[in-house]
Amino acid sequence: MINLEGKSALVTGSTSGIGLAIATGLADAGANVMLNGFGKLETIEMLRSNLEKTSGHKIRYSPADMRKPSEIKNMISAAQKEYGSVDILINNAGIQHVSPIEDFPTEKWDDILAINLSSAFHTTRHCIAGMKKSGWGRIINIASAHSLVASPYKSAYVAAKHGLVGLTKTVALECAQDGVTVNAISPGYVLTPLVEKQIPDTAKARGISEEAVKRDVLLAAQPTKKFVKVDQITQSTLFLCSDAAENITGINLSIDGGWTAQ
Ligand code: NAD
């Protein structure tokens, strides 16, 4: 069991799906956690207070919009003020849009690049000095199998996720001697709201049924024929935060049922 007592974590996009599972895992392992993301305020407050009760650690929430650098800066300052430091940074917030490139809305391109890629640049640059100073830090960027391979109609997402892995490797090298590791995790398909929302759009773009999208598009890519589970991503995140992983930096860990082995 990994012990993160005394550490503080920030997980972007943690009001749902993978981010919420990782935030819960970090809190249960002993860390204070700042949550972030959108949703109904009452629902988020319920998540926050339940996690605070069950974990016994300080759980806070920031509504910062990952498209806005000034809000990101304020979120990091608030976390540093509240906890004294941000030791673990999980860049997880992400959105998707599925459309042929000739119809791809410009504003969707801008939002996807801002949330899925640029927000990690902004959070990292505001957290890194504190991590270097304390001589310990963990940055984990939640990328995707789409950081390694492409699928049609996902131009912005694929471009952003490939970029996120480039950022991961660069920052890993920059702080390799400072006790700070920087890694990416690249899941295959996980049944979260992000994937459930894109099923109707993919069906429309390909002219097939929603059942056929699940069977012939999503799981067709995964040789195990199983969706990845959020707990599997959480456990790998906890391992990368452990001392056993202090020499693992700059990697892109695939959890994709063999998708990118093909
Ligand atoms: P999700 O839709 O369940 O959660 C996304 C989170 O990001 C939510 O908390 C949402 O509120 C937040 N968010 C969205 N826009 C935001 C913004 N502007 N500012 C702040 N927060 C914002 O999705 P998920 O499936 O849990 O995805 C999480 C991450 O995992 C994403 O980066 C996604 O690309 C990646 N991923 C998901 C899958 C999958 O199959 N679900 C596969 C590979 C990678």
Q: Is 85 left (phi over 0), alpha (psi -120 to 50) or beta?
A: beta
Instruction: Measure 95 CA to ligand 1 centroid, in angstroms.
Output: 5
CA 77 vs CA 72, 84, 85, 86, 203: distances in Å:
9, 10, 9, 9, 43
Is 102 inside a domain boundary? yes
- CB of 187 shorter than 6 A to ligand 1: yes
pLDDT cut 90: percent of the chain above it: 93
pLDDT of residue 80: 98
158 Cβ neighbours under 8 A, 6+ residues apart: 146, 150, 151
- CB of 93 shorter than 6 A to ligand 1: yes
Residues of the chain with pLDDT under 70: none
- By residue count, the chain amounts to 262
CATH at 63:
3.40.50.720
Render pLDDT for 145-185 as a digit per residue (tens, 0 to 9): 999 999 999 999 999 999 999 999 999 999 999 999 999 99
- CB of 165 shorter than 6 A to ligand 1: no
What is the atom index within ligand 1 of the atom nearest the CA of 96? 34
Angle, helix 119-134 to helix 69-83, in steps of 10 degrees? 30
Token representation of residue 147: 């950081």
Cβ neighbour number for residue 223 with a 10 Å cutoff: 14
CA 197 vs CA 157, 200, 201: distances in Å:
15, 7, 8
pLDDT of residue 130: 98
Query: Tokens 């799906």, residue?
Result: 17
Is 262 inside a domain boundary? no
pLDDT of residue 241: 98
Is 20 inside a domain boundary? yes
> Do 70 and 126 touch, CB atoms closer than 8 A?
no
pLDDT of residue 13: 98
Is 207 inside a domain boundary? no
Instruction: Measure 121 CA to ligand 1 centroid, in angstroms.
Output: 17
Is 138 inside a domain boundary? yes
Give the separation between CA 51 and CA 160, rounded to whole angstroms.
31
- Enclosing domain of residue 245: 8-188+229-257
Give the separation between CA 230 and CA 22, rounded to whole angstroms.
8
Is 139 inside a domain boundary? yes
- CB of 95 shorter than 6 A to ligand 1: yes
Instruction: Measure 57 CA to ligand 1 centroid, in angstroms.
Output: 24
Is 117 inside a domain boundary? yes
Answer yes or no: 153 catalytic: no
Is 214 inside a domain boundary? no
| pTM given for the model | 0.96
Provide the pairing of β-strand 32-36 with 88-91. Answer: unpaired
pLDDT of residue 205: 87
Give the separation between CA 220 and CA 214, rounded to whole angstroms.
8
Domain count, the chain: 1
144 Cβ neighbours under 8 A, 6+ residues apart: 94, 157, 161, 186, 187
105 Cβ neighbours under 8 A, 6+ residues apart: 97, 99
